[in-house]
Structure formats: structure tokens, C-alpha cells
């Protein structure tokens, strides 16, 4: 591990240790060292990934609530795509997480590990070979993405998937895909992440220190489309959750086809009589009518409105039923970067209010906790409506 990268990981370890991780800084340094050495010693396939052992910087084993015990307030910040394209947003939010003891979920787009020169390796269902609704990344951005993904995992974050070509419309839309189409898309997403060394020719980067086939337990589909056909494919692969549904309510989640269903949620939208989905794009769509370069005079109001929406969603859950709160974003600079500023401000405010009852976790860490609970306790939590204050079961 390079010295700069090593300092970054150890700095993350210190912050996460304060937030309740069972290991202190010296323990974490040992964990990171072991993970790095194991990854070098135990490569998988072409060495793009490796078995680095248990993931460092994880919270303690989830506790089981006693009957009548109030649940924690979980908050999950997640990122669709998770590509670093030179704007510094991936390291910016990794740094923010370190400073506030947060873990997040990064839904990595598989094509962000594949150079455009190799695009014919991608066979998207119902679309031309090599096609993508997203641009392929330049080589330097693939390198930066791989380095940030590696460090993010060492810092305790989850690496999920946002699949590949991001087809949201037309005859090849993911909304039209079958379960077999999704199986093909997932196989290819995994292949691009686990064979980047072959596809890029990069020989000087450290491997990703995890077995992605085991690490990958959930994802979010492009444009929140196609969940019904995805679920059978995901269940066959042993996935544990899916975060692709839209318009979810702020209630405790249940399962669909054996997977935890963790949708983006409708939250209060200050100044409006309707609610808005808890994601940067949906705020943009309602503020600037899908324009990503609206007149700057609007930015201060819209930025504060986005902050207030996130905080209103958090407080409604925290002060009532304690349903887990989900916020989704992209590494984007829409409308002058106001949505990135808004999510940063919201995370800081939530962290400032934080105590042992509020936990900033990844989706994987959340489902670890959910799976550890007594079914009767979960049934009581799932019975609580939006805004219904938690009380012990009778």
C-alpha cells in the first residue's frame, strides 16, 4: 500500500473507532495491514481482486432487541455509479464519512472498470453490443475509481452494484428485461469488476481486497426500474436485499421474494403539499424541471430546501416510528453542485444530533441487524405507520 493511501486508511480507522467500531487505531492498523498483505498473497483470477480476509472497520455484531426495547435510528447514505471522474466527489464523501464515523453503500457501475477500447466485451440485453446509456470512463478515471473503491472497502463501506449500461428508455430499457436478462447483466457486472486488470492492462494498482462474488449482496437498478424481474435472479444468487423500488414510505422494511426491500422513500418537501423521493435527482426534477444548469439565482434556495427535506425525513423517522432512513445520490455537479452540498450538510447535521440511538450504516450492515432480530419484534416495528410514534408492543 502506498504511503498516502495508508495514511488515508488509518485516518479513517481512527474516526470510525470513535464511532463505535470495536477496534482501536492500533488494532485497525493491524487489520488493514493484514488485509493488504493477504490481498497480495491470495489473488483471485487475474489479480484484479483478492482475498484480503475480514473487512476492517466493521461495527460490532448486531444486538438483538429485547421485547419493549426502542430500536436505533438507522440512516443509510448510498451512491449510484460510484465513479471518480476527476471532480473529487468520491474522495470528498469518503473523507466526510471518516470525519463523522459513517459507513455508506457505493453501488458501483460495472462499466466503470472497463475501458471504451474494450466495450465490445459488454453484451447488454436487448441492446447492441457495446452500447451504453452512460459514457465509458477515461483510463485515468478508471484508475481513480478503482483506487477509491479499494480504499472505501478498507474504510468499512459496502460495494454493491448499479449494474452496467443504465438503459432507462426505449425497447432495450431495463423495465422490459426478463430475469434471465438480469442474470446476464449481473454476471457481466461482476466480470468487469473482477477482470479489470486484464481489460485495462493496469499492472501497478493494488487489487481490490475482496472477493466481489461474496461481497455483492445487493444493488439498485437504473432509474429504479425492473425490480420485479430482477428479484428472482438476485434471489438465485443469494443476494440479501434490493434497493431499487421507488416511492417507498418511511416504515420498517419487509421482504420480497426472500430479499429485504429497501426502497428510496417519500419525505416531506418543504414549501410543497406533496412529498419527494429521497434522492438528488428527484429534488432536481421538482426544482429545476430536470435542468442540470438552471439559473444560479435559484441555487441558495434550492440547496437549503434539499437540506431541509433530508432533515425533515430524518426527524420524522427519529421522533416517531424509527424506520430506517435511506438517502440516494450520484457523484454529480448538477446546478452548481448544490445537491452535493445539501447531502453533506444533512449528514453533518444528523451526525451532530447523533448519540448511541442513531447509526450511519451501509445497507449490508442494516440487513445484518434486521436478520438478527426476533420475528415478533420485527412484526411490531413493521406494523407502525408513517409518523406513528413507537411504543412497546402490548
| Tens digit of each residue's pLDDT (9 = 90 or more) over 151-189 | 999 999 999 999 999 999 999 999 999 999 999 999 999
Residue 344 CA to residue 266 CA, distance in Å, equals: 20
When mean pLDDT is compared across 9-13, 47-51, 285-289, 333-337, the lowest value belongs to 9-13
The conformation of residue 208, written as its DSSP 8-state character, comes to: B
When mean pLDDT is compared across 24-38, 132-146, 311-325, the lowest value belongs to 24-38
Say yes or no to pLDDT of 27 above 60.
yes
Topology adopted by domain 72-382: TIM Barrel (3.20.20)
Cell numbers representing residue 298 in the block: 435559484
The partner residues of 159 in beta bridges, in order of sequence, read 106
Say yes or no to pLDDT of 30 above 80.
no
**pLDDT score for 40:** 73
Which residue, 246, 192, 190, 189, is CA-closest to 223? Answer: 246
Residue 306 CA to residue 199 CA, distance in Å, equals: 40
What pTM value is reported for the model? Answer: 0.92
Model confidence at 24, in pLDDT bands (50, 70, 90)?
low
The partner residues of 79 in beta bridges, in order of sequence, read 106, 329
Residue 114 CA to residue 372 CA, distance in Å, equals: 38
Residue 364 CA to residue 72 CA, distance in Å, equals: 16
Phi and psi at 294, nearest 5°, equal -75, 165
Q: What pLDDT, in 10s, does the model give residues 232-255?
A: 999 999 999 999 999 999 999 999
CA–CA distance from 277 to each of 141, 196, 252, 326 (Å)? 30, 34, 17, 10
**pLDDT score for 333:** 98
Instruction: Map residue 389 onto helix, strand or coil.
Output: coil
Cell numbers representing residue 320 in the block: 416517531
Concatenated DSSP letters of 55-77? PSSPPPPPPPPPTTPPPPEEEEE
Buried b (16+ CB within 10 A) or exposed e, 25-49: eeebbebbeebbeebeeeebeebbb
The conformation of residue 246, written as its DSSP 8-state character, comes to: -
Which residue, 298, 368, 302, 290, is CA-closest to 341? Answer: 302
Say yes or no to pLDDT of 8 above 70.
no
Query: Taking CA 327 as the corner, what is the angle to CA 325 and CA 331, rounded to the nearest 5 degrees?
Result: 160
Non-local CB neighbours of 191 within 8 Å, separated by 6+ positions: 110
Amino acid at each position: 500500500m502506498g504511503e498516502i493511501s495508508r495514511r488515508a486508511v488509518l485516518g479513517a480507522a481512527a474516526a470510525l473507532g470513535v464511532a463505535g467500531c470495536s477496534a482501536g487505531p492500533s488494532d485497525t492498523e493491524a487489520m488493514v495491514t493484514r488485509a493488504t498483505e493477504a490481498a497480495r498473497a491470495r489473488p483471485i483470477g487475474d489479480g484484479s481482486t483478492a482475498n484480503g480476509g475480514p473487512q476492517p472497520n466493521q461495527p460490532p455484531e448486531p444486538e438483538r432487541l429485547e421485547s419493549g426495547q426502542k430500536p436505533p435510528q438507522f440512516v443509510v447514505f448510498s451512491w449510484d455509479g460510484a465513479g471518480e471522474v476527476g471532480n473529487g466527489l468520491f474522495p470528498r464523501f469518503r473523507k466526510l464519512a471518516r470525519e463523522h464515523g459513517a459507513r455508506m453503500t457505493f453501488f458501483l457501475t460495472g462499466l466503470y472498470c472497463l475501458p471504451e477500447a474494450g466495450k465490445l466485451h459488454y453484451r447488454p440485453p436487448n441492446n447492441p453490443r457495446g452500447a451504453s446509456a452512460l459514457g465509458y470512463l477515461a483510463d485515468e478515471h478508471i484508475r481513480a475509481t478503482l483506487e477509491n473503491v479499494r480504499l472505501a472497502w478498507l474504510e468499512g463501506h459496502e460495494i454493491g452494484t448499479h449494474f452496467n449500461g443504465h438503459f432507462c428508455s426505449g425497447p432495450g430499457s431495463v423495465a422490459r428485461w426478463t430475469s434471465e436478462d438480469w442474470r446476464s447483466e449481473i454476471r457481466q457486472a461482476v466480470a468487469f469488476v473482477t477482470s479489470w486488470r486484464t481489460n485495462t492492462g493496469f499492472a501497478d494498482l493494488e487489487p481490490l481486497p475482496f472477493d466481489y462474488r461474496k461481497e455483492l449482496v445487493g444493488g439498485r437498478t437504473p432509474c429504479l426500474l425492473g425490480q420485479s424481474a430482477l428479484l428472482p435472479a438476485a434471489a438465485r444468487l443469494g443476494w440479501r436485499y434490493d434497493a431499487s423500488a421507488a416511492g417507498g414510505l418511511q416504515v420498517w422494511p419487509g421482504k420480497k421474494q426472500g430479499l429485504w426491500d429497501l426502497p428510496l422513500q417519500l419525505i416531506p418537501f418543504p414549501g410543497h403539499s406533496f412529498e419527494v423521493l429521497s434522492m438528488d435527482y428527484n429534488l432536481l426534477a421538482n426544482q429545476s424541471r430536470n435542468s442540470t444548469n438552471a439559473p444560479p439565482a435559484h441555487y441558495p434556495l434550492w440547496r437549503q430546501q434539499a437540506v431541509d427535506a433530508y432533515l425533515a425525513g430524518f426527524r420524522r423517522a427519529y421522533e416517531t416510528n424509527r424506520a430506517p432512513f435511506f438517502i440516494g445520490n450520484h457523484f454529480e455537479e448538477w446546478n452548481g453542485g448544490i445537491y452535493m452540498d445539501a447531502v453533506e450538510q444533512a449528514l453533518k447535521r444528523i451526525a451532530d444530533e447523533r448519540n448511541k440511538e442513531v447509526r450511519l450504516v451501509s445497507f449490508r450492515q442494516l440487513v445484518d441487524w434486521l436478520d438478527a432480530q426476533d420475528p415478533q419484534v420485527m412484526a411490531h416495528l413493521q406494523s407502525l405507520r408513517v409518523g406513528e410514534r413507537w411504543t412497546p408492543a402490548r
